[in-house]
Amino acid sequence: MTSIRQLNERIQRESSFIQQIVVETGRVIVGQERLINRLLIALLSNGHILIEGVPGLAKTLAVRTLAATIDAKFQRIQFTPDLLPADLTGTQIYNPRTGDFTPRPGPIFSNIVLADEINRAPAKVQSALLEAMEERQVTLGDQTHKLHDPFMVLATQNPIEQEGTYPLPEAQLDRFMLKVIVGYPTREDERLIIERMSGETPAPPNAVVNPDLIREARQVVNSIYVDEKIKDYVLNIIFATRDPVSSGMTDLRPLIEFGASPRATIFLMKAAKAMAFLRGRGYVTPDDVKQVAPDVLRHRVIVTFEAEAEEVTAAQVIQKILSRIEVP
């Protein structure tokens, strides 16, 4: 009990910078608290995030604002059908004086990379990005270059326009720690948007933390205590997506084609720890797991044609699982 109390006190001290980030982003972004929260979870968990929403919901602005508060190197890449892998990773330039090839790093050599409309780029470009996400390195010629630390990819995609797009395969989607669905703002938030954006341009956010502090915070997040019952709870959720019959959910069996991968188990645990950190606690609760589970699982649970015919989505299946798994 003493160690948990000490860990709580440490987490409360170490997480104090989170409120500074929230305040600075709030000066620019109206609403979207959930999106900012998920961006911070991915950042603290050393993961990547896929953001899906219709145009005009401040997805790009939210990412750019977050990067500014961290004083991190930020690059935005607009994905288009004619984009080449070298436009992303860089290439080698021939030097006629020396006869050597000099590496020219691409925009991926940054702390935070925004892949805007990732599903508009062909498979080769998507593959180059996803390889860098997984390996944290890029090979140019015969030389391998490590990417910056921290390194985080935030990809956006438009769900309503499919013409001229290259949808990400499920195996590539699995590389993203979280998939967040961004919805329309409330009426009150949109009124505030009108007032804020129709007047003077708001001042840019101030840098309140640096990448070194983020690296230190990640170490603290890893030290957060997880009880054995919480680990079993996470496993129960994951295995229910793979074999709902064994979990007493026979009615879900015709709806699930493929369940979550072991990578989902790891990411769910990491995301729950990050959620506890954001809430100033040194231990994970079942509610931390339930809050992040939909974002970790929605792009990993594949529903059957029967489910699609009945207009049952992966999100609905996940909610049924979460409501029926016993909470410790």
Asked if pLDDT for residue 101 goes beyond 50, the answer is yes
Question: How many CB atoms neighbour CB 104 within 10 A?
Answer: 11
Contact 76, 64 (CB under 8 A): yes
Asked if pLDDT for residue 275 goes beyond 90, the answer is yes
pLDDT tens digits for range 190-219: 888 787 777 666 677 788 888 888 888 898
CA neighbor of 138 nearest in space, from 121, 127, 173: 127
* Residue 246 structure tokens: 């064994």
CB neighbours of 230 closer than 8 A, spacing ≥ 6?
A: 272, 284, 285, 286, 289, 328
Give the pLDDT confidence score for residue 163 in this predicted structure: 61
Residue 168, Cα to own-chain centre: how many angstroms?
15
pLDDT tens digits for range 137-180: 888 777 788 888 888 888 888 776 666 566 777 777 888 999 99
Asked if pLDDT for residue 39 goes beyond 70, the answer is yes
CA–CA dist 235, 252 (Å, integer):
18
- Averaged over 14-33, what is the pLDDT? 82
CA–CA dist 269, 104 (Å, integer):
38
Domains detected in the chain: 2-83+110-213 (3.40.50.300), 224-324 (1.10.8.80)
Which residue's entry shows tokens 């959930």?
A: 34
User: Up-side HSE of residue 200: CA atoms within 13 Å toward CB?
Assistant: 4
Look at phi and psi of residue 46 and say left if phi exceeds 0, alpha if psi is from -120 to 50, else beta. Answer: left
Task: Read off the pLDDT band of 54 (50, 70, 90).
Answer: confident
Averaged confidence pLDDT in the chain = 84
Give the pLDDT confidence score for residue 231 in this predicted structure: 93
CB neighbours of 269 closer than 8 A, spacing ≥ 6?
A: 226, 231, 234
Contact 92, 77 (CB under 8 A): no
Q: For 106, which DSSP code?
A: -
Length of the chain: 328
User: Residue 230: what residue type?
Assistant: I
3-class secondary-structure state, position 11: helix
